[in-house]
């Protein structure tokens, strides 16, 4: 039984970690701007495409990885400056529509550049090596992902709770105007939030595409949506919530993918039921259930109006 479940659990943890890295970007931006940044999944996809082209141009790998991360962070920064900052005092709905516009713009830009073809993701050595863990045969990236996620989240939480910029972020997330009276440049703080979120999505893309091996302009949509559900599940605005939500969704999704096999091997069913088809549907059904039963998510704070 355990031997059957274990490989699915393992890949669930891995995918969950990748979702977590994207979900942090959603939750941080929401925390500070009360905006669902619909373009975030596409930033993740752009990171993948940028990696494809950088590797193809012959840049050595040790240089291409930091380069991808820097470019991704820059893309996040530019999106905020161009599409969200001019709408700072506009109704929230306008900013959200702008975000949807950015999402389609990025997808179409990539469509234009790639011609709509699946691009082969470069093989990153070491993490692409196959390893055998008990009953599971997997790429090393599966094990690296959760460890890297924990390290990055610990660093991020330290940044937010112990540094001056982190303190400014927490202040701005509660009260723009009073933050300005403290001398905080709120635009710099918001930019920093987008840079961090996009950087993490960049890390996530390195891990995710190493597993999935091809990138296309719509590659960001599904992981982006899943990460968004994870952020809502954990309580949007909360970083630990987003991370835990992402791991839970990743694990549950993969267990469902393997449910047929698990049930068959344990003798519960005699012919496959095709349950794997429902793994995506499950995630979105979960979103509906959360929104109905506990809209603030696992760790979200109750919505309090600013006074």
Side-chain half-sphere CA neighbours of 231 within 13 A = 30
> Does the footprint of other proteins cover residue 91 (CB under 8 A)?
no
Binding mask 137-166 for other proteins (x = CB under 8 A): ---------------------------x--
If we measure between CA atoms, which residue out of 41, 47, 37 comes closest to residue 99?
37
Residue 186 CA, chain-centre distance (Å), reads 24
- The residue among 97 and 167 lying less far from other proteins, judged by its C-beta, is 167
- The residue among 144 and 167 lying less far from other proteins, judged by its C-beta, is 167
Candidates 91, 183, 267, 274: give the one binding other proteins (CB under 8 A). 183
Query: 204-219 burial, b if ≥16 CB within 10 A, otherwise e?
Result: bbbbbbbbeeebbbeb
Candidates 268, 302, 303, 307: give the one binding other proteins (CB under 8 A). 307
> Does the footprint of other proteins cover residue 283 (CB under 8 A)?
no
Residue keyed to tokens 């899943």 = 226
> Does the footprint of other proteins cover residue 185 (CB under 8 A)?
yes
Q: CA 201, CA 19: separation in Å to the nearest integer?
A: 9
CB 224 → other proteins: shortest distance, Å?
Answer: 28
Binding residues for other proteins, total number by CB under 8 A: 17
Q: In whole angstroms, how far apart are CA 121 and each of 92, 108, 133, 255?
A: 37, 19, 25, 26
> Does the footprint of other proteins cover residue 238 (CB under 8 A)?
no
Q: Give residues in contact with other proteins (CB under 8 A).
A: 164, 167-168, 170-171, 173-175, 177-178, 180-185, 307
């Amino acid at each position: 039984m355990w031997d059957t479940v274990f490989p699915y659990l393992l890949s669930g943890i891995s995918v969950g970690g990748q979702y977590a890295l994207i979900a942090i970007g959603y939750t941080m931006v929401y925390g500070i701007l009360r905006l669902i940044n619909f373009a975030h999944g596409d930033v993740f996809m752009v990171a993948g495409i940028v990696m494809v082209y950088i590797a193809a141009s012959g840049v050595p790998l040790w240089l291409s990885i930091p380069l991808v991360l820097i470019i991704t962070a820059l893309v996040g920064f530019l999106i905020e400056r161009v599409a969200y900052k001019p709408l700072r005092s506009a109704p929230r709905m306008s900013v959200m529509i702008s975000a949807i516009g950015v999402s389609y713009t990025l997808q179409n830009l990539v469509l234009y550049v790639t011609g709509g073809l699946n691009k082969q993701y470069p093989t990153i050595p070491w993490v692409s090596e196959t390893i055998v863990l008990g009953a599971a045969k997997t790429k090393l990236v599966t094990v690296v992902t959760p460890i890297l996620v924990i390290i990055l989240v610990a660093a991020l939480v330290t940044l937010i709770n112990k540094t001056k910029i982190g303190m400014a972020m927490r202040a701005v997330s509660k009260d723009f105007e009073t933050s300005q009276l403290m001398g905080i440049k709120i635009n710099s703080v918001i930019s920093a939030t987008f840079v961090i979120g996009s950087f993490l999505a960049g890390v996530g893309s390195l891990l995710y595409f190493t597993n999935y091996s091809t990138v296309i302009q719509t590659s960001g949509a599904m992981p982006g949506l899943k990460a968004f559900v994870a952020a809502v599940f954990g309580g949007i605005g909360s970083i630990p919530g987003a991370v835990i939500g992402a791991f839970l969704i990743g694990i549950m999704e993969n267990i469902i993918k393997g449910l047929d096999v698990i049930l068959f091997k344990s003798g519960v069913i005699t012919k496959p039921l095709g349950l794997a088809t429902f793994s995506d549907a499950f995630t979105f059904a979960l979103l509906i259930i959360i929104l109905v039963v506990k809209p603030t998510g696992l760790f979200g704070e109750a919505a309090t109006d600013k006074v």
